[in-house]
Amino acid sequence: MTIISQLHTYYRSGSPIGIYSVCSAHPLVLEAAMRQAVMNDSALLVEATSNQVNQLGGYTGMRTDDFREFALGLAKVHGLAPERLILGGDHLGPNPWQHLPAEEAMLLAEAMVTEYSRAGFTKIHLDASMACKGDQAPLPDSVVAERAARLCRAAEEASSGAPRYYVIGTEVPIPGGATESLNELQVTSYAHAERTLEIHREVFFAAGLRDVWPRVIALVVQPGVEFNHTSVVDYDSSKTVDLCKLLRDKDHIVFEAHSTDYQKPFAYKELVRDGFAILKVGPALTFALREALFALERIEQELVPHGRCSHLAETVERVMLLHPEHWHKHYHGSPEELRLLHRYSYSDRIRYYWPAPEVRAAVDLLMTNLESTGVPETLLSAIMPDQYRAVRAGDLRATPHELTIHRIQQALQPYASACIPG
């Protein structure tokens, strides 16, 4: 029995545990997460998103079988036993096809969920919360539930009898962070969460999915955590007291918290304690990756002649301007404001550009240059002080690869500390 199916049991026993969900396809992020899981002797939940991996290739160019083999290959290299790797699908529904009429988008979504389930992804987030062309917005809960049931049936029919575990919800945050002001952010009410749960239960039962309902393990709610381009709303457990009573009243359900990136370390412990047992993280990890790579470029500039430098930041900016499709709906302002958002935004739209050939070549050159020159401790102290201290303590090798992994793991460690018992 997988840990995700036992989260509610632990919560009801008074000894809550959690699991963090790594939502990224970047090999360095996944390597850092896998090495963290090996270090903690824990399971690792890795989720692909609907716009990232789907039957059309998504923005990574991978279908579900490709992603599965990619993740399992990395796990083998980094010593994570395959049975400890839990694969999930995030925001599986019509999200990538919202521009299409609902029925057309749903047919594509059903085909996508079928591929995820057939490929052995065991945790499925059924996200039919977003309106399609011609829909009223926001969608009524009953419509969201009916579409979720359709997706669930597709997953069940493709599962070959192996259990699939489902996450539902109607208050689903925008993937990758908010694009608006966070001043009006409201915690989901008990009444709304209960209504969402009951409508889904009724629809699932009516759709012949009664036997599946116990495997609906989590409800996505808004716990009052979010981030946008430049700010973060911190978790306040006093605001979720009423909502969390639902977990004592309902069987087999925990909460799944999206957009938990950039919270203060103690907040993750409070979230798990309060029943937010699945903590999604994505942009914070590629944000840390970007910080590491840009810091290494500053070191490179001190050591390598200008003509042989990687010019990484300059390359990424050029590629983002040439291919604005991943940021133009999200970032607005003057050229200087856009430059800052491209590079430093919490929403981290830069993450879509690391796979670009020009950018990958610049990263490879950066790594090669610093492997050749070495990374002097004095420069490390000035530019990457946390990594400097780890190197001086004998806990870290001063290679560009290991320095990057260490920075990503710094973003992961608060999650691990909150989720791993003891």
Q: Give pTM, 2 decimals.
A: 0.95
Report the alpha-carbon distance of residue 343 to residue 347 in Å, rounded: 10
Residue 349's φ and ψ, nearest 5 degrees, are -65, -15
Residue 185's φ and ψ, nearest 5 degrees, are -60, 125
Report the alpha-carbon distance of residue 210 to residue 205 in Å, rounded: 5
Secondary structure letter of residue 172 according to DSSP = P
Question: What pLDDT digit, counting tens, does each position of 328-384 carry?
Answer: 999 999 999 999 999 999 999 999 999 999 999 999 999 999 999 999 999 999 999
Task: Name the residue among 227, 220, 235 with its Cα closest to residue 182.
Answer: 227
Which CATH code, of 3.40.718.10, 3.40.50.150, 1.10.400.20, 3.40.50.300, is assigned to 287-408? 1.10.400.20
Report the alpha-carbon distance of residue 323 to residue 354 in Å, rounded: 13
**What is the chain's mean pLDDT, rounded?**
95
Cβ proximity of 243 and 193 under 8 Å: yes
Q: What is the pLDDT of residue 421?
A: 66
Residue 123's φ and ψ, nearest 5 degrees, are -110, 120
Q: What is the pLDDT of residue 98?
A: 95
| pLDDT confidence band for 250 (50 / 70 / 90) | confident
Determine what percent of the chain is predicted with pLDDT higher than 70: 96
CB neighbour list of residue 11: distance below 8 Å, 6 or more residues apart: 247, 254, 275, 277
Domain spans in the chain, listed from the N-terminal domain onward: 3-281, 287-408
Angstrom CA distances, 133 to 93, 97, 139, 147, 173, stand at 14, 9, 12, 15, 19
Question: What pLDDT digit, counting tens, does each position of 298-315 carry?
Answer: 999 999 999 999 999 999
Which two structure tokens, joined as six digits, stand for 347? 């929403």
| pLDDT confidence band for 207 (50 / 70 / 90) | very high
Residue in the block written with tokens 């001063």: 398
Report the alpha-carbon distance of residue 397 to residue 392 in Å, rounded: 9
**Residues pairing with 124 in the sheet:** 89, 166
Give yes or no for residue 154 having a pLDDT over 70: yes
Q: Is 329 exposed, middle or buried (0-12, 13-18, 19+ CB in 10 A)?
A: exposed
Question: What pLDDT digit, counting tens, does each position of 93-146 carry?
Answer: 999 999 999 999 999 999 999 999 999 999 999 999 999 999 998 999 999 999
Q: What is the pLDDT of residue 239?
A: 97
Give yes or no for residue 181 having a pLDDT over 70: no
Strands (E) across 28-83 are located at 44-49
Residue 151's φ and ψ, nearest 5 degrees, are -65, -40
Question: What pLDDT digit, counting tens, does each position of 15-62 carry?
Answer: 999 999 999 999 999 999 999 999 999 999 999 999 999 999 998 999
Q: What is the pLDDT of residue 350?
A: 97
Question: What is the three-class DSSP state of 46?
Answer: strand
- Fold category of 3-281 in CATH: TIM Barrel (3.20.20)
Average pLDDT on 156-183 reads: 78
Give yes or no for residue 1 having a pLDDT over 60: no
Q: What is the pLDDT of residue 48?
A: 97
- Lowest mean pLDDT segment, chosen from 148-162, 169-183, 260-274, 402-416: 169-183
Q: What is the pLDDT of residue 77?
A: 98
The 3-class SS string of 199-230 reads: HHHHHHHHCCCCCCHHHEEEEECCCCCEECCC
Report the alpha-carbon distance of residue 300 to residue 309 in Å, rounded: 7
Average pLDDT on 240-250 reads: 94
Which two structure tokens, joined as six digits, stand for 80? 């994570």
Which two structure tokens, joined as six digits, stand for 34? 């896998």
| pLDDT confidence band for 84 (50 / 70 / 90) | very high
